[in-house]
Every structure is written in structure tokens, then in C-alpha cells.
């Protein structure tokens, strides 16, 4: 009981600090020991969001003030997940994201004779619809849209968009089942 009270107070304190840094937090949220290194103003999270220990919200590029990471209300992001945005990553409401996931909206430039770290990022917005479930160790790559109500199996690498109400698994992820709407 006392531990729960201490954890709740720590979560509220983290939310207060992130709000002071410019992050848009729309109501009560559960923020464990998360990492947001910079560009706090480019992040918006909805009411009831829970970000578990080790979650990283990383915004790269210029801090233009435009929203680059948006997490819808009542979404749960499990431990050690990284959301890495340079363009825009949008996660819908009531989603569950398993531990050790990686969600990105960009790649590095790759060309003969060019150091990948010195070239510009190549990006395209990534979107996860409402009520989606991503299993553990899922990777979502740039430009992908996961349709609402879809499930992505553990360990999958999603390189192409997934329709709504679909179960997709594998590397690269492929649709194996359509769920009732």
C-alpha cells in the first residue's frame, strides 16, 4: 500500500516536471521511470496513458514545436519500448504495446561512399490505429499504418501497412487472419 502511494506520487511529480518542460499531458497519466531527452513540446499524451519503466520517447531533428509523438488516451506502453520520431508517430486510443518494441518514422540515408550518420534522415509518418495490440519485441518501420483493431504478433517486423482488424505476424509481417469488426 505504501509503495503504491510512493509510486503514484513519483508519477505525478514526473508529469508535473514534463508539463513544465512543455509536454502536453491531457489529464492523469501513469509515468514510471521513462526517458524523454529533448523536444518535450513535440510530445502529446492523452488522459489515462501509462508509460512503463524504461520507455523512451525520442524526438530527433529540429524542435519546431510541431507534434511529432502523439499517444491517444488510455494506451499502455510496456517496459523498454522506444518511440523514435523525426516526422510524426501517432498511436491511437486504448492500445497495448508490449515490452521491448521499437516504433520509428525514419531511416538514415544510405548510398555508396556516404557515411549513414552524416546524411539526412529519410522519413514518413507512422500511425497505429485505435484498439491495436503489439506483442513483445515488435518493430514498426517508417511510413507504416496499422489499422484500428489489429494485432501484431510478438517479434514481428512491420514493413508495410496492415489493414484494420487484422492479425499480422513474422519478419516481414504478413496478414494471417481477419478479425470480426
Would you name the residues annotated as active-site residues? Answer: 108
Strand ranges across the sheet with 30-31? 30-31, 50-51, 76-77, 96-97, 133-134, 151-152, 166-170, 173-178
Location of C-alpha cell 509536454: 23
**What SS3 state is found at 153?**
coil
Q: 39: which residues sit within 8 A by CB, 6+ positions away?
A: 59, 63, 68
Backbone region of residue 110 per phi and psi (left: phi > 0; alpha: psi in -120 to 50; beta: other values): beta
Cα distance between residue 33 and residue 52, in whole Å: 7
Element holding 44 (H helix, E strand): strand 43-46
The answer to whether 164 and 146 have CB atoms below 8 angstroms apart is no
Amino acid at each position: 500500500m505504501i509503495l503504491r502511494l510512493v509510486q503514484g506520487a513519483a508519477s505525478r511529480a514526473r508529469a508535473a516536471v514534463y508539463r513544465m518542460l512543455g509536454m502536453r499531458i491531457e489529464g492523469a497519466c501513469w509515468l514510471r521511470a521513462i526517458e524523454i531527452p529533448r523536444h518535450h513540446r513535440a510530445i502529446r499524451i492523452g488522459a489515462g496513458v501509462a508509460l512503463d519503466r524504461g520507455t523512451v520517447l525520442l524526438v530527433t531533428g529540429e524542435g519546431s514545436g510541431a507534434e511529432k509523438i502523439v499517444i491517444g488516451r488510455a494506451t499502455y506502453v510496456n517496459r523498454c519500448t522506444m518511440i523514435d520520431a523525426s516526422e510524426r508517430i501517432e498511436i491511437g486510443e486504448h492500445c497495448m504495446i508490449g515490452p521491448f518494441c521499437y516504433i520509428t518514422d525514419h531511416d538514415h540515408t544510405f548510398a555508396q561512399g556516404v557515411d549513414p550518420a552524416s546524411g539526412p534522415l529519410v522519413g514518413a509518418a507512422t500511425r497505429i490505429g485505435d484498439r491495436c495490440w503489439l506483442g513483445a519485441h515488435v518493430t514498426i518501420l517508417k511510413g507504416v499504418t496499422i489499422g484500428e483493431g489489429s494485432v501484431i504478433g510478438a517479434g514481428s517486423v512491420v514493413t508495410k501497412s496492415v489493414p484494420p482488424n487484422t492479425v499480422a505476424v513474422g519478419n516481414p509481417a504478413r496478414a494471417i487472419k481477419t478479425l470480426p469488426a
